Amino acid sequence: MNTVTQIVLTDLVCRLGVSPAAVETALVKTVQHFDSESRNPIVARTGRTPAEYLATSLTTPRFHAMLASIALKAEGREADARLAWEAYVQREIATATRAHEAVPETALLGDVEAVRRIGRGVGLDDDQTDQLIPGIVLTLAMGYYYRPAGDQHLTLTEALSRVAADELTEMLRHASLSAAGRTEDAAHALRRFQQGSH
């Protein structure tokens, strides 16, 4: 166990009041979860190796939130685990919302009417589009940590400003199918878009 890992684990023990054994168990489970994610074909299509994906994941808020939540569960503190995870989700939503609000009107995601036109193009009314956009922005914000090396200098707002019409079209189509409970169709739409963009 390296020094950085030891510091993280010690911090969790002190901050959460959990045992070192619970934190070590949580670390193993959390790393296993992200290792499994790293082998998803979607990761390969981004140009990252599983090792690169895992290394990046270790630095993300999601990794640390999951680690804390699993450690609390290991101690039998289910309610605390749920509250810790919900607090993380709310922080991510707030960050994504602030970044989205800062997107200039000259960018697609900053132009409400342009976004709604795309929504209409995939059969959504304006209210449906408005309801789906925050979830899409949150998804993009979660992926921000895994952006390509050439985009590392971009802020989240700048990354959101680069979303193109074809990307947003497919994200809205996927989100609308998912919201309608058509999970197989949504998965098919996502695969088709990923194959077309690589």
Which residues in the chain come in under a pLDDT of 70? 1-5, 45, 182-198
pLDDT digits (tens, 9 = 90+) for 97-147: 999 999 999 999 999 999 999 999 999 999 999 999 999 999 899 888 888
Q: Do residue 63 and residue 11 come from a single domain?
A: yes
H-type alpha helices, the chain: 3-16, 20-38, 41-45, 50-57, 61-74, 78-101, 112-121, 126-143, 156-161, 165-179, 183-196
Q: Do residue 7 and residue 46 come from a single domain?
A: yes
Which of helix, strand or coil describes residue 50? helix
Give residue for tokens 């409400």: 112
Q: Do residue 120 and residue 175 come from a single domain?
A: yes
Domain assignment of residue 63, yes or no: yes
**What's the pLDDT at 189?**
58
Q: Do residue 131 and residue 180 come from a single domain?
A: yes
Counting the structural domains of the chain, the total is: 2
Cβ atoms of 155 and 100 closer than 8 Å: no
Q: Do residue 71 and residue 120 come from a single domain?
A: no
Domain assignment of residue 191, yes or no: yes
Among candidate residues 82, 112, 138, the one where a domain is terminated: 82
d(CA 36, CA 53): 10
Q: Do residue 25 and residue 113 come from a single domain?
A: no
CB-CB neighbours of 98 under 10 Å: 12
d(CA 133, CA 163): 12
Residue-number span of the structural domain to which 170 is assigned? 102-198
pLDDT digits (tens, 9 = 90+) for 108-119: 999 999 999 999
DSSP letter for 60, please: S
The percentage of residues in the chain with a pLDDT greater than 70, rounded to a whole number, is 88
Cβ atoms of 107 and 161 closer than 8 Å: yes
Q: Assign residue 47 a region: left if phi > 0, alpha if psi is -120 to 50, beta otherwise? A: left
Burial class of residue 56, CB neighbours in 10 A (0-12, 13-18, 19+): middle
